Copies of this chain bind each other. A is one copy, B any other.
Amino acid sequence: MQPRSRTTIRDVARQAGVSVATVSKVLNNRYGVAAATYAHVQKVISELGYEASLVAQSLRNHQTNVIGILVADLEPFSTELLKGAADAIRGTGFELVIYSAGGRTGEHEGWERRYLSRLSGTLIDGAVLVTPTIVDVDYGSPFVAVDPHTGTSTTPTIDADNLRGAHLATEHLLELGHTRIAMLTGRHDLQSSRLREQGYRQALRKAQLSIDEELILPGEYNSGPSRDSARRMLSMSDPPTAIFAANDISAITTMAVADELGLGVPDDLSVVGFDNIPEAALSSPGLTTVEQPIREMGKRSVEMLIELIRGRSLQETHLTLDTRLLVRGSTSAPKSSISNGARRDS
Contact = CB atoms under 8 A, between A and B. Distances in A.
Given A82-B100, A279-B282, A282-B282, A121 B252 contact: no
A187 to B, nearest CB: 19
A141 to B, nearest CB: 8
B119 A54 contact: yes
B100 A138 contact: no
Contact of A282 (B55, B100, B252): B252
Contacts of A52: 118
Given A6-B140, A138-B3, A282-B252, A90 B117 contact: no
A210 interface: no
A276 to B, nearest CB: 14
Contacts of A123: 54-55, 123
A118 B54 contact: yes
B74 A83 contact: yes
A7 interface: yes
B284 A5 contact: no
Nearest to A55: B122
B102 A96 contact: yes
A49 interface: yes
Given A51-B114, A54-B119, A279-B278, A99 B97 contact: yes
A89 interface: yes
Contacts of A103: 86
A334 B210 CA distance: 54
A283 interface: yes
A102 B285 CA distance: 32
Nearest to A278: B279
A51 B137 CA distance: 14
A53 interface: yes
Interface in A1-59: 2-3, 5-7, 49-56, 58-59
Contact of A117 (B2, B49, B99): B49
B54 A122 contact: yes
Contacts of A314: none
Contact of A53 (B2, B102, B121): B121
A6 B100 CA distance: 23
A79 interface: yes
Nearest to A79: B79
Which of A54, A121, A284 has the largest number of chain B CB atoms within 10 A? A54
Contacts of A102: 86-87, 89-90, 96
A229 interface: no
A137 B6 CA distance: 13
A5 B61 CA distance: 13
A82 B102 CA distance: 10
A112 to B, nearest CB: 12
A343 interface: no
15 contacts: A3-B138, A5-B62, A51-B117, A51-B118, A54-B122, A55-B123, A79-B79, A86-B100, A95-B99, A96-B102, A98-B98, A278-B279, A282-B283, A282-B284, A284-B285
The 5 residue pairs across chains A and B that have the minimum distance between CB atoms: A284-B284, A51-B117, A6-B121, A55-B122, A98-B98
